[in-house]
Structure 1
Amino acid sequence: MFSAVDVIRTKRDDLELSTEQINWVIDAYTKGVVADEQMSALAMAILLNGASDREISDWTAAMIASGDRLDLSRVGKPTVDKHSTGGVGDKITLPLAPLVAAFGVAVPQLSGRGLGHTGGTLDKLETIPGFRTDLSTTEFIDRLADPGAVVCAASDRLAPADRRLYALRDVTGTVESIPLIASSIMSKKIAEGTDALVLDVKVGSGAFMKDFAMAKRLAETMVRLGDAHGVRCRALLTDMSTPLGRTAGNALEVAESVEVLAGGGPADVVELTVALAAEMLALAGMPDADPAAALADGRAMDAWRAMVVAQGGDPDAELPRAPESEVVVAERDGIVTSMDAYAVGVAAWRLGAGRARQGEAVSAGAGVEIVAAVGEHVSAGAPVFRLHADDPERFDLARRTLTGAVDIGDSVNSRELILDRIG
């Protein structure tokens, strides 16, 4: 039998927690035996002193064991998922899931809602009339078998210990701990039951991880965790200093995703979608598959329509539009040399596309449309952004948020979207 104080002291003194200590403290915290203030102290000790690979693996295993682990064997197809650490305009799941499913691979995409400046995949998909994200486990597995791609909310029974610890970290200054971030993400993904996983670890102003070295450490830790728990895993480190695509907002991003599925769309969204699809298909045993061809010939669009219909949505329905719009114009002639992703994300949030705390409602049509992207010429007085909101009173704060977010000069270096590959 252990005590919470002894476990805290062990990590406070920079010693390794035993497997038995970790199993006990996670189980006891889930059951309410260990108090929030005690787990807060332990989380801070882990933040300050770190954790070994063995400790992180044991911590992850204990969080998985706190709930259910799905068995996807009856799906009858290889299963491969993608997880992004989040960014601005990161709509990649929407075209990616059906694109990979078009090759006969099952994509179990358990996603979340937006918070702060990063958008949530579920919020985006719920702008499609009728689209359901609250599927039962049986419905989830049935739709994995056919049509093959599912994007929905995770069950409360998947890694419930992480649900409690995640909320605690958010209010105790321990969010930045790589061991806790890695185990949080991977416990849910491993419990999901997927055979393989591709991680999109964002780096830059609009990302959770601003520093490349820290992002790489996180990616390496998560890949090792996946491999240790029997999930084949790879990671791409990708740039999030500039927003992805030309939209940040829920229905706006769905519309842009449909453009990509139709064979068009912004070049950076297409590039990242195709790169992640190639990694997923390789892990599924199809290293020679050509995802770009499936975007061009309509197979990905067919898979998208089938996915939307299977989850109760109408792929032909008109998407919501915000009733009010306003433009932000360039102050001089020149080329857009940089655009602060974080500022664009906060502006979209201020316009109503995001939430300040869990459970708040979001606007389906609100957000930021990028009229002049990085690398494009703009004239003084011409629009750089078009803002969309339900309430015109939101424009002033969003406009102030975008002050200084764009640099205009005479030339720009080409953007490197994919920065590194792990695994």
Structure 2
Amino acid sequence: MLAANLLVKKREGEQLSDDEIRFLIDGFCDGSVTDYQMSAFAMAVCLKGMSPGETECLTRAMLESGGRMPRTCSGDTPRVDKHSTGGLGDKVSVILAPLLAACGVHVPMISGRGLGLTGGTLDKLESIPGFRTDLNESECDGALRDVGAFIVSASDQIAPADRRLYALRDVTGTVESISLITASILSKKLAANLDALVMDVKVGSAAFMPSLNQASALAESICRVGTACGLPTSVLISDMDQPLGSAVGNAIEINESLAILRGECRDQPTVERARELTMLLCSELLVATKASSDYKQARDRLEDALQGGHALERLMAMIAQQHGRLDGPLPLAKKHVIEATHDGWVRRIDSRTIGLTVVEMGGGRRRVGDPIDHSVGVAMQVLVGDRVVRGQPLMEVYCSSPGQQDEVNRLSATIELGEQPAEPIPLILNAGS
């Protein structure tokens, strides 16, 4: 086989055989298939798609490019995880992992970096001084044994093909592909030897899936391939036409996660959406593994873990276990407040422009290897449907770049006010398993 011939075949919309898919993935790992060839493959898949059988084979090939995590430290303790398809302000993983660990299940989370305009969990955690996401197998076992959770990157041993392809997709415009997203997510999750997985599929202007039909197709793909590979998988489809929570950025999202775990944000509707989504996803996993008998019992256990401070203790223990040092809120860049210029109702939030502007301020990557300024970001003060008055804060912008006024002006235009009331956007748009 020749890689170039297979690229032409997929470019023309033909199906690749299992052997051909494995040839490409194996060659990508050993260097006989180059980065530019794999980028071309990703573009062809984005344009022409893959069949369900091709997607399952791609997932298995990427999984088998590395090893699997052993279950020696878990024993009979359920092992669970959650994954989001990415969105603005999505800091759920930072809250969910210690919260579930406080409820007696293990969370071996292999996460990713920023992709497109959405932030990555690893980038957020690395805003904590000293925090390591490259733990070895022994360190991961110790974290599960002592804390009940860890959040790490895909190593050279765990789905290495995905680790390299993920970085290429971020900078080559090949993010929005159901097959590539499915294979990327599940190759890492299958490697973790899980008992249950819950997916948070985002839909909206700042999501990879802008329509409910596309999000539903992705949810179906993930559930089908996960089940075929022996991993029980359920899905929630959630809104991404506005940021999740208040904070969008890296350090600022860590600060908001800490505030939620401290119980400090129950009176802030923007932040409450992030808390509520976390609780729903956690409940799915506790019920799926029979760690709780029903959703009410799951919810009660989760509330107890939050109110008793147990989840916060687990997060601080996880940070220490992964060599991080966190003594208080992380520092942020200079603050600029955007206020309403007139009375009205929030009719629309241009979340895509918010995400792109945060990247331009240094909060994300334009190219592989770009450094990130963890201190930049925004804090949303309103939701779609809110009534506002002139002079009311709409958004706080944390930015110190030379072009900061241009960026503040651009962000000022992302919140559209109208004279007539607007309907609030529901958090959960659909649910299925």
TM-score by structure 2 length? 0.89
- 1:229-244 equivalences in 2 (<5 Å): 229-244=229-244
**Aligned match of 2:356:** 346
Q: 1:142-174 CA distances to partner (integer Å, 9 max, x unpaired)?
A: 101221111222212322223343445456554
1:120 shift after superposition = 1.9
Q: 1:275-300 CA distances to partner (integer Å, 9 max, x unpaired)?
A: 01111212222243222332233222
**Aligned match of 1:366:** 376
**1:351 maps to amino acid:** M
- 1:126-145 equivalences in 2 (<5 Å): 126-145=126-145
**8 Å contact kept, 1:114–1:121:** yes
**Aligned match of 1:206:** 206
**8 Å contact kept, 1:250–1:365:** yes
1:106 shift after superposition = 0.7
**Aligned match of 1:329:** 339
**Aligned match of 1:34:** 33
Cα distance in structure 1, aligned partners of 2:170 and 2:398: 30
**8 Å contact kept, 1:337–1:409:** no
**Aligned match of 1:295:** 306
**Aligned match of 1:83:** 83
The answer to whether the aligner puts 1:125 opposite 2:135 as a matched pair is no
**Aligned match of 1:405:** 415
**2:205 maps to amino acid:** S
Cα distance in structure 1, aligned partners of 2:137 and 2:66: 14
**Aligned match of 1:268:** 273
**2:377 maps to amino acid:** G
1:11 shift after superposition = 4.1
**Aligned match of 1:109:** 109
Q: 1:180-215 CA distances to partner (integer Å, 9 max, x unpaired)?
A: 221122112212332321111111111121121111
Percent of residue pairs identical = 45
Distance of aligned partners of 1:286 and 1:35 in 2 relative to their CA distance in 1, 3 Å threshold: same
- Structure 1's unaligned 5+ residue stretches are none
**8 Å contact kept, 1:128–1:317:** no
Distance of aligned partners of 1:363 and 1:13 in 2 relative to their CA distance in 1, 3 Å threshold: closer
**8 Å contact kept, 1:332–1:408:** no
After TM superposition, the structure 1 stretch with the greater mean CA deviation from structure 2, 242-251 or 185-194, is 185-194
Cα distance in structure 2, aligned partners of 1:200 and 1:402: 29
Cα distance in structure 1, aligned partners of 2:250 and 2:169: 27
The answer to whether the aligner puts 1:20 opposite 2:46 as a matched pair is no
**2:273 maps to amino acid:** D
1:37 shift after superposition = 5.5
Cα distance in structure 2, aligned partners of 1:219 and 1:409: 37
**Aligned match of 1:70:** 69
Distance of aligned partners of 1:406 and 1:179 in 2 relative to their CA distance in 1, 3 Å threshold: same
1:223 shift after superposition = 1.2
Secondary structure at 2:218's aligned position in 1? helix
TM-score by structure 1 length? 0.91
**Aligned match of 1:189:** 189
Distance of aligned partners of 1:334 and 1:293 in 2 relative to their CA distance in 1, 3 Å threshold: farther
**Aligned match of 2:268:** none
After TM superposition, the structure 1 stretch with the greater mean CA deviation from structure 2, 397-406 or 190-199, is 397-406
Q: 1:249-287 CA distances to partner (integer Å, 9 max, x unpaired)?
A: 222211211121122422201110100111121222224
- Structure 2's unaligned 5+ residue stretches are 266-270
Secondary structure at 1:74's aligned position in 2? coil
**8 Å contact kept, 2:171–2:367:** no
Secondary structure at 2:287's aligned position in 1? helix
